[in-house]
Structure 1
Amino acid sequence: MSQSSSRASAEAAAWLARLQGDARTAEREAAFKDWLRADPVNQRAFERATDIWADLPGAAALIEERPAPRPLPLRPAWRRLPVHQLALAASLVLAIGIGTFFWLSQPSAYSTTIGEQKVATLEDGSRIALNTDSSVEVRYNAAQRLVELDRGEAMFEVAHNSARPFIVRAGDKQIRAVGTSFVVRNERGEVVVTLLQGKVAVTDIRPAAAKPAPTYLTPGDRLRAPVDGPARIDAQAADAATAWRRGQAMFADTPLGDAVTEMNRYGGPRLIVDDPRLAGLRVSGVFATNDTGEFARAVAALHGLRIEQNGQTMHIVR
């Protein structure tokens, strides 16, 4: 069985278990119908799940007959099943499909070393592009798609599925999306979220007596949440937010100290600015992330500075 078929079978069993008794709501029914329409594989998987129940010898005889509740507009064979029989069917299907559920719940880890980039395509078609020295853990289930960004930076291109939100957790922030693209960075306790397309909701997940309302971003918004201060939103162009995908770093009136820190993320000779006055000089331009030496020489020429190299360390000095 393919991964997509296995996933659909697991989700079908989960939906069969959810659609029972008092737990049924208009929102849940709408989400279920969205799931059915999202992929023909889902419809076939749900039909197989209900057929499994119908084909179980003597199963109906074990259950006292009761009046059927209002049916959902599904295929006729399942439409006639009472809710309590659906519960039994769900449990039986889950028992048969436990191996599928075990596979579906297993996390997948992706990481990069310093200077490395990697793109991972997930089983639902979503894509994660990892920047240098980054690590994520992906954990999918029938209800949600969860990604933990442990460190570094990643760009997410999310396949649309309104019944199964895509959630990224980084530090003390949670980013919720349905179908969109955005960049998340988790470095030294600071979380930065830049929205490229679509819409996301950013929530603080730290324990608190009163939970703050989610912050909604629109394309071009960049939310910066330092470890010891309030979050703030500014603007960042998409080409600047994704420059690393092209092997570039873009600076616009950036303090030299910050630019050096950014360039050092990508490996090569390590740059050091010892003088705080030099660290405050402003840098603008586009630089190759795989050539920190060229960046240092360009900055030195621009500001009349010198480079003192000691092995794999380059000091930028007056």
Structure 2
Amino acid sequence: MSQPYSRASAEAAAWLARLQGDARTPAREAAFQDWLRADPAHQSAFERATDIWADLPGAALLLDEPPVRAASTAPTPIAEARARWRLPLHQLALAASLLIAVGIGSFLWLSRPSIYSTAIGEQKVATLEDGSRIALNTDSSVEVRYDPAQRLVELEHGEAMFEVAHNTARPFIVRAGDKQVRAVGTSFVVRREDKEVTVILLQGKVVVTDIRPAVKRIAPTYLTPGERLRAQPEGAVRVDAQPAEIATAWRRGQAMFSDTPLIDAVAELNRYGGPRLVVDDPRLATLRVSGVFATNDTGEFARAVAALHGLRIEQTGQTMHIVR
């Protein structure tokens, strides 16, 4: 795979131009050697720059005369690369421009986002290039962009569990609405539904920050394993406990409820498709539900709730009403 365009690539292109012909002086040569020694990436970047220039289609047409090899009894890789082309001064700017254009083209190709999504009732696991994994729940979509400085994921909608490969120099960032979750090596769940964002930390450490304009931002929130953060755009952030077993039940095809209002349990089950559940009576909506239910069988859930509370099920087409 091509190397991403970086600051080292830009500097290499500039040095390639500086070292041509009469522009090469002892002082400039010494500065170049200092630049090479400053970072192992510099030598690789310079070799790539000379390779790119040598391989550019039609590059030879820019020359007024054939390339001249530098005289050396035992050329080093850098010396050999540097001697590959000697351009007249008026062509150096074009050479550097072409190098930068090729580098930027490679960067844009590498930074094109990867999009992963699921349909209603579907789940999917994606393994990213660094070994990190994203498990997508029902009706979810993420956009992934990797660059040399960070690993960026945008949760467009739905829910995803992230298992992040450790890399302190390249943080893993998940954005959902106006919230941003920053991690290094950890696992956590992020859910974006309507305008509410939920973050549940399973292992490691994360910090949740606000990416709205500064005047509206709230302070960063650091989570510890087993904590859940829930945030609404204009409301205060709430942090409470959420056991990992409940937070990841959907990975096992289950929904777990503990003293949950019936209306909330119904909304959760409806996310997974199948016959749609409806609770019309506001008095029934507040009934409490506890238990473990299969996410692919809303009918089983409705019948269990009806039996427990002495209710009935009225079905019309693909809609099941829970009534008295």
Shorter chain as denominator, the TM-score bin is 0.7 to 0.9
The answer to whether the 8 Å contact 1:112/1:130 transfers is yes
Alpha carbons of structure 1 residues 171 and 301: separation in structure 2 relative to 1, 3 Å: same
Give the match for residue 43 of structure 1. Answer: none
- Counterpart of 1:162, as a letter, is T
Matched, 1:126 2:118: no
Alignment of 1:153-192 (within 5 A): 153-192=159-198
For residues 72-94 of structure 1, the C-alpha deviation after alignment (integer angstroms, 9 at most, x for no partner) is 66559959x9xxxxxx9998865
Alpha-carbon separation, structure 1, partners of 2:8 and 2:41: 15
Alpha-carbon separation, structure 1, partners of 2:7 and 2:233: 39
Matched, 1:310 2:316: yes
Alpha carbons of structure 1 residues 195 and 54: separation in structure 2 relative to 1, 3 Å: same
Alpha carbons of structure 1 residues 56 and 119: separation in structure 2 relative to 1, 3 Å: same
The answer to whether the 8 Å contact 1:17/1:90 transfers is no
Alpha carbons of structure 1 residues 211 and 292: separation in structure 2 relative to 1, 3 Å: closer
Matched, 1:263 2:269: yes
The answer to whether the 8 Å contact 2:210/2:220 transfers is yes
Shift of 1:99: 4.0
Alpha carbons of structure 1 residues 135 and 77: separation in structure 2 relative to 1, 3 Å: closer
Identical counterparts, % of pairs: 71
Alpha-carbon separation, structure 1, partners of 2:275 and 2:202: 32
Give the match for residue 246 of structure 1. Answer: 252
Alpha carbons of structure 1 residues 75 and 98: separation in structure 2 relative to 1, 3 Å: closer
1:220 pairs with one of 217, 222, 226 = 226
User: Which has the higher mean CA deviation after the structures are superposed, 195-204 or 68-77?
Assistant: 68-77
2:23 pairs with one of 62, 65, 76 = 62
For residues 41-81 of structure 1, the C-alpha deviation after alignment (integer angstroms, 9 at most, x for no partner) is xxxxxxxxx7x9999995485355346469866559959x9
Alpha-carbon separation, structure 2, partners of 1:181 and 1:173: 17
Shift of 1:208: 2.8
Alpha-carbon separation, structure 1, partners of 2:146 and 2:41: 31
The answer to whether the 8 Å contact 2:18/2:24 transfers is no
Alpha carbons of structure 1 residues 275 and 61: separation in structure 2 relative to 1, 3 Å: farther
The answer to whether the 8 Å contact 2:187/2:202 transfers is yes
Equivalenced residue count is: 272
Give the match for residue 6 of structure 2. Answer: 14
Give the match for residue 38 of structure 1. Answer: none
Structure 2 residue matching 1:133: 3-state secondary structure: coil
Structure 2 residue matching 1:113: 3-state secondary structure: coil
Alpha-carbon separation, structure 2, partners of 1:95 and 1:135: 32
Shift of 1:125: 1.4
TM-score (norm 2): 0.75
The answer to whether the 8 Å contact 2:8/2:42 transfers is no
Alpha carbons of structure 1 residues 307 and 16: separation in structure 2 relative to 1, 3 Å: same
Structure 1 residue matching 2:119: 3-state secondary structure: coil
Alignment of 1:104-143 (within 5 A): 104-143=110-149
Matched, 1:102 2:102: no
- Counterpart of 1:235, as a letter, is A
Give the match for residue 54 of structure 2. Answer: none
Q: Mind listing any 5+ residue stretches in structure 2 that lack a counterpart?
A: 47-92
Alpha-carbon separation, structure 2, partners of 1:215 and 1:306: 44
TM-score (norm 1): 0.76
For residues 114-155 of structure 1, the C-alpha deviation after alignment (integer angstroms, 9 at most, x for no partner) is 111111111121111111111111111121111111111011
Alpha carbons of structure 1 residues 125 and 61: separation in structure 2 relative to 1, 3 Å: farther
Give the match for residue 33 of structure 1. Answer: none
Shift of 1:214: 1.5
Matched, 1:208 2:214: yes
Structure 2 residue matching 1:209: 3-state secondary structure: helix
RMSD: 3.0
Matched, 1:285 2:262: no
Structure 2 residue matching 1:104: 3-state secondary structure: helix
Give the match for residue 232 of structure 1. Answer: 238
For residues 268-287 of structure 1, the C-alpha deviation after alignment (integer angstroms, 9 at most, x for no partner) is 00000011111101000000
